[in-house]
Structure 1
Amino acid sequence: MAVHHRQTSASAKKKVQVSYIIRDEVEKYNRSGVNALQLDFLQKRLFTSGRDSIIRIWNVNNLSSKHDPYIQSMEHHTDWVNDIVLCCNGRTLISASSDTTVKVWNAHKGFCMSTLRTHKDYVKALAYARDKEQVASAGLDRQIFLWDVNTLTALTASNNTVTTSSLTGNKDSIYSLAMNHYGTIIISGSTEKVLRVWDPRTCAKLMKLKGHTDNVKALLVNRDGTQCLSGSSDGTIRLWSIGQQRCIATYRVHDDGVWALQANEAFSTFYSGGRDRRVYQVDMRNPENRFLLCEEKGPIVKLLLTQDNSHIWAATTQSSVNCWPISNQPARVSGDYDNENPVPVYTQPEGTVKGGPSITQYYILNDKRHILSRDTNGHVVLWDVLKACKVEDLGKADLEEEIKARSKMVYVPNWFSVDLKTGMLCIHLDESDCFAAWVSAKDVGFGSNDGSDPKLNFGGLLLQALLEHWPKTHTLEEEDHSNNTAVLNGNADTTDVTVRVGGSVTKGNGYFSVPGHTPVIFSEVGGRTLFSGCTSRLLCRDAGAETEGMLLNDTVPAWVIDITVDKNMPKFQKIPFYLQPHSTSGAKTLKKDRLSASDMLQVRKVMEHVYEKVLGADNISQNTASSGGEKPEQEKEEDISSLAEEKIELLCQDQVLDPNMDLRTVKHFIWKSGGDLTLHYRQIK
């Protein structure tokens, strides 16, 4: 079936979230498990890709020298990269990702040439017909698409329509794919537990091969397409005759699921790895002639045999990738072989591409600005979500103790969420709760020189910082935000509590910036990234570039434009509460009037309201008259505040409240009940 696919941008009407990753400017090392490997044997360059979404290029000649093997990174994917293939004699790399895209890269220069958005779910596997320059992609959407590589590399912004063939008939998610060099046969493995076989030239279904009892995770097919090797989570490896349409040999080598296979060109020896962390070498014609080549420190996800059959690369769920020599003189063979306790031929790899630590735990502190994390090296790090940077590396500290030491009795609403799937902190901002957190500028260290204490919105400030370089946010004049006030409303009386918000600035938010290398991602909530072309995410500093700027114009949702372009501050969160005399005050219980105020209103302001309005104190004007002149407004406020604190106590659940505490903190830490917050007051004798 032919599918005509045009690269178009997704509709901005979808529910969109903004995400960004807190990271170093150059992420040299694989941060988490490595899913795929490719080797350019002529240029001695290894390509690795995996869970941190980054494809990296390494010089394999420098692995054992003092020179750094890292060459460069290829970044555009926003989720795990599950598979890669090197085509066109090493000039082109194709990648498949859980962000649902297939990307086409210039492998020599390291940039993305085009993005294919045909899949509707995670893309898990690729297959390559070398003699035909054809690639197939498959994944959890049960679809297999065939791509002509030469057509893909010729795509441009103006010529971006791709015609592809689709192979249908899979009943379940596809995890493995194989195609022979000539492109005459293609085989898929899935959670359906069967192998399905097609002729990619006609898209005709050829057969279904049954035998495995679990997911088929690895597939190989020989050059002429007559035999296939499959590895399954059921722990077995099976050899199939395509002509006879049956399994002709079953190899029980591993104690657990088989996830990776490689074979020599003659299809006479295979190498297997999987969940048991072991790499075995097996003679297909004489299965007794097998031995344990090496043991890894993590489950083996992918194996890659070098072109000269002298070494095998192993990628695991850990971040380092090892290169092991292949022995023609195994330590234990045939009758000498111990199935229960085999001894590996090699205990040390010949070369290693060293990986870096990945974050495995995190804790958001009460200030909803800082995060403590622990990584695979046991290191604890303090991060600033607002400035998108590392604050301090605390070394191998006790995470629980650090959390205790930094926890304060302050309540700030949740305004972001976190995920660790790339091994780094990825922060998600969603329209529904992004603007929930209002704070005092002084409380967060952004106090102004004029002594004012404007109220700041964490989400609003961060969005302005993330899009600071987007020209659309710069062409603004100063605006008056005096209407942004929080009002304490009773049924009879009102006390205005003015909240000052700084005027607009021409760039960013006027308080802080985020690092220019911070990746910013726009995506459907829980779904696919939105950008068309190559760019499914951009670096913060690149928002000013022409191409990225145009993409942002089409992609940024209205709720983000409102705060970054129009500078419309979000509304304050309101909190309802009741105010009653305390039982020990001797005063009669009042008619229950439901009050409402900004949730970050300080207890002090409620005490002033009680002092001035509820108890009807009128000594301010007398003090002013006796002083011989009108006091400035600020001094009047200070007088009321100090007198209120001298004369009034405010309580919640019989606990006297600190005047500096805000209402949301009182409700969260002290009220702890259902229904509206109730506060009690009494005069201090």
Structure 2
Amino acid sequence: MLLPGQGYGAYAAEVPRDSAYALAMNGAGSLVAAGSTQGVASVVDVRSGQGVMALKGHTDNIRQALHAVLALQLDGEGRLLLSGSADHSVRLWDLGQQRCVQTLAVHTDSVWALAAGPGFAAVYSGGRDGCIYRPSAAARARLAFDGSASHPAPQQRQPAAATPSIPPIQHAAVLTDRRHVVTRDADGGVACWDWTAGRAVRDFGRADVLEVEASLFQPSHSVSAWCAAEVKLGSLGGCMEPPQCFGAEIYAQDLGDEEAPVDLKVNFGEQMLVALFAGWAERQRGTPQPGQQQQQQQGGGPGAGPGSGGAGQGDAVAEGATGGESGAMTDADGGKAQGGGGSAPSSRFSFQGPLAPVVMVSGGGGGGGSVPWRCAIDAFTGQEDVPQWVADCVLHGRYPVSRELKMAFQLAPLPGSQLPSLLQSKLNAPRVLRVNKVADYVRRKMEEHGIALREEPLFWDPAKAERWQAEQAGTDGGGGLGATARVHQLQPVQAAAVGGPRGGGAGGTGGGGAAIIITCGGHTVPWDFSLAAVRQWIWRRSDDLVLHYSVRDHGTPLRLPAIRPPS
């Protein structure tokens, strides 16, 4: 609003914290009515910001989508209010009596727009049914239709002109990798979106959204919910809240960076925030404003202090090579994940859509403000009231370390395998750690006992199998590698025989020796599964995951888990 001597400003009004789908103001600009998704029309005194009344009466017994007030109209004197809702009705309210004095139910679908002349002498209502109706003002603040009773003919059925638009998104389902989202729009069009790129990566046309979700089901992933999908505005959005948004990781190579180290992983929440607020951070560092230097320099906030930190592009660790005395599977040098050292993080996410994403902050900014705001990511000025936990992340790479990033599991020889036990059988490792790292860990430990085992991976994803074969061909000259089995079918299969002696020989992926097999509950575990995926889709229990290692018997068919998409 326009504040005397201060230009335009904003402050929070006492209204329900639901989405506001309609606004109306009286002639003097002293009253504002806001229609919410809960079917309530709230009237606010603009001068004080105080709520004056909440008008309840709209319901939605037909459609299950919204109980929303979608259209509002105040008369010039602020005595009467018209409201249109998703319950197909138009209601006339007397603000002096704070009650509904008349209900018109002529539309067959949601009422989307209202317009009125002075004193409500002429009123027009437009709805999703494509019809426009015109009741007239009658005596005693009532509306009536000329020459008609309760079902008048609409004023117009076809528009004089139309603005091209795209159908709104009505449904969104996040896939198991927590990176891709399947959406369905109002016309039945189904698409798959990549959150990290900000665009649709595949268009299925008009299709059954459940069938598409099932076809894209990938059980090798089980990623924590770091972002919740929202479609309330008709577009695909995501809601991030601390500390849950920092509870998921992804390998850099899975983002398409083939040059990244194979074990380099990044935090979903940190990377998304850094990508969204890159423009804001750049302006903060370049031209700090009064009060913003403190936000840049202070080390407080949810992401600071002992036990917190973020692994940025240069801080992500490589894991799974050794096991320390504590039972943690760490990187090759025995290092643990460290907190951010105050350096500015960078993001591997790159938004490639035709429009820049829009950031919407619900309040609680770093300066203690509570006024919601929104801004396209290419329009930041550096003066926005960014929440402190966001500033800590994008400026300093600091964020709370989530316990969800790690999980405990037990690793033991399969009874009857005659392989020795590990000195430390209970381990801690990242949730995203793949089973191939566990197998490599077992191979190294068996070498310490003088037992040579070789790797013979089993892959669920054919693309990963092809990548592994190409990598091994490049390091071994293309010979003596043995075959990899693709196990993306749901039935037990007889894997191809592997050349080479069953015992003795040099260790490593290309040497001789018996082949390692990792099992869980008697089922063979694909090597491209993460530990979290094994726990969710194979172990299916709340206690610690238990994995067994043994020597593969090529005369016995593999027993594979029956994994089906969730209903």
Query: TM-score, length-normalised on structure 1?
Result: 0.52
Shift of 1:600: 2.1
For 2:25, the equivalent position in structure 1 comes to 127
Q: CA distance change for structure 1 residues 372 and 613 in 2, over 3 Å: closer, same or farther?
A: same
Post-superposition Cα deviations, 1:13-57, rounded to whole Å, max 9, x if no partner, equal: xxxxxxxxxxxxxxxxxxxxxxxxxxxxxxxxxxxxxxxxxxxxx
Residue 375 of structure 1 and its aligned partner are, at CA, apart by: 0.9
| Residue in structure 2 matching 1:541, options 378, 385, 403 | 378
Could you tell me whether the CA contact under 8 Å between 1:229 and 1:240 is conserved in 2? yes
Question: Aligned to 1:665, what secondary structure does the other structure show?
Answer: helix
Residue 90 of structure 1 is matched in structure 2 by none
1:198: which partner in 2? Answer: none
1:366 and 1:405 mapped to 2: Cα distance? 12
CA contact (8 A) 2:362 2:370 kept: no
Task: Provide the rounded CA distance (Å) in 2 between the counterparts of 1:644 and 1:604.
Answer: 18
Superposed displacement of residue 538, structure 1 = 2.5
Alignment RMSD (CA, Å): 5.2
Whole-Å Cα distance in 1 between the matches of residues 551 and 324 of structure 2? 21
Please say if 1:667 is aligned against 2:535.
Answer: yes
Instruction: Provide Cα deviations, 1:394-450, integer angstroms capped at 9, x if missing partner.
Output: 33244333323322222141221111111111112222222222222223321217x
Note if 1:607 corresponds to 2:439.
yes
Q: What TM-score results when the alignment is normalised by the length of structure 2?
A: 0.62
User: Aligned partners of 1:252 and 1:492: how far apart in 2?
Assistant: 71
Q: Distance between the aligned counterparts of 2:347 and 2:94, measured in 1?
A: 66
Output the amino acid matched with 2:134. Answer: Q
2:113–2:126 Cα contact (<8 Å) kept: yes
Question: For residue 383 of structure 2, what is the amino acid of its counterpart?
Answer: M
Separation (CA, whole Å) in 2 of partners of 1:392 and 1:378: 15
1:550 to 378, 383, 394: 383
**How many Å separate the matches in 2 of 1:442 and 1:364?**
21
CA-to-aligned-CA distance 1:511-546 (integer Å, 9 cap, x gap): 34335822223334xx89989699822222334xxx
Tell me: CA distance 1:644–1:456, structure 2 relative to 1, closer, same or farther (3 Å).
farther
Q: Deviations over 1:241-281 (max 9, x none)?
A: 98xx999x968674789887655447655445679875443
Match of 1:658 among 526, 532, 541: 526
Deviations 1:449-493 (A, max 9, x none): 7x65422222222222223232257999x9974877567657687
Asked if 1:371 is matched to 2:269, the reply is: no
CA distance, structure 1, for counterparts of residue 134 and residue 240 of structure 2: 49
Aligned mate of 2:157, from 347, 352, 361: 347
- Tell me the residue number matched to 2:410: 578
Cα deviation for residue 598 of structure 1 reads: 1.8
Of all paired residues, the percent bearing the same amino acid is 22
Q: Which amino acid aligns with 2:215?
A: A
SS at match of 1:400: helix
Aligned counterpart, 2:266: 456
Asked if 1:420 is matched to 2:318, the reply is no
Q: Which residues in structure 2 correspond to 1:82-101 (within 5 Å)? A: none
Show the 5 A alignment for 1:308-347.
Answer: 334=147, 337=148, 342-347=152-157
Q: 1:426 to 1:582 in 2, by over 3 A?
A: same
Structure-2 separation of matches of 1:343 and 1:614: 85
The 2-side partners of 1:482 and 1:463 are apart by 16
Q: Tell me the secondary structure at the aligned position of residue 410 of structure 1.
A: coil
Distance 1:135 1:454, change over 3 A: same
Q: Secondary structure at the match of 1:549?
A: coil
Letter in 2 for 1:364: V
For the residue of structure 2 that corresponds to 1:430, the secondary structure is: coil
Q: Is the 8 A contact 1:473 1:507 kept in 2?
A: no
Inter-CA distance 119–668: structure 2 relative to 1 (3 Å threshold): same
Instruction: Tell me if structure 2 keeps the 8 A contact 1:602–1:659.
Output: yes
**Residue in 1 that maps onto 2:546:** 678
Q: Is the 2:313–2:345 Cα contact (8 Å) retained in structure 1?
A: no
Task: Tell me, in whole angstroms, the C-alpha distance in 2 between the residues paired with 1:489 and 1:285.
Answer: 83
CA separation of 1:267 and 1:437: change in aligned 2, threshold 3 A: closer
CA distance in structure 2 between the aligned counterparts of 1:521 and 1:232, rounded to whole angstroms: 27
Q: Distance in 2 between matches of 1:610 and 1:670?
A: 20
Structure 1 residues 393 and 532, CA gap change in structure 2 (3 angstroms): farther
> Structure 1 residues 578, 523: CA separation in 2 closer, same or farther (over 3 Å shift)?
same
The Cα of 1:576 is off from its aligned counterpart by 0.8
State the one-letter code of the partner of 2:25. Answer: A
Output the CA distance in 1 between the equivalents of 2:204 and 2:440: 43
Q: Distance in 2 between matches of 1:239 and 1:437?
A: 49
Distance 1:493 1:229 in 2: 68
Alignment-derived partner of residue 351 in structure 2? 514
Q: Report the structure, 1 or 2, having the larger strand content.
A: 1
Q: How many residues align?
A: 446
Change (3 A) 1:615 1:274: same
- In structure 2, runs of 5+ residues without a counterpart are 59-68, 287-295, 298-311, 453-474, 477-505, 554-567
Cα distance, 1:677 vs structure 2: 0.5
Query: Equivalences for 1:43-122 in 2 at 5 Å?
Result: 103=1, 113-122=8-17
Alignment of 1:623-638 (within 5 A): none
The match for 2:468 is: none
Match of 2:216 in 1: 406
Preserved contact between residue 431 and residue 559 of structure 1 (Cα < 8 Å): no
Residue 191 of structure 1, aligned match among 53, 56, 68: 56
Greater shift in the superposed pair: 650-659 or 271-280:
271-280
SS in 2 for 1:670: helix
Q: 1:498 aligns with which of 306, 314, 332?
A: 332
Query: Structure 1: how far apart are the matches of 2:70 and 2:400?
Result: 53
Separation of aligned partners in 1, 2:249 and 2:70 = 51
Paired letter, 1:557 = Q
Bigger shift: 264-273 or 382-391?
A: 264-273
Shift of 1:607: 2.4
Secondary structure of 1:647 counterpart: strand
Residue in 2 aligned with 1:48? none
CA contact (8 A) 2:33 2:72 kept: no
The structure with the largest alpha-carbon Rg is 1
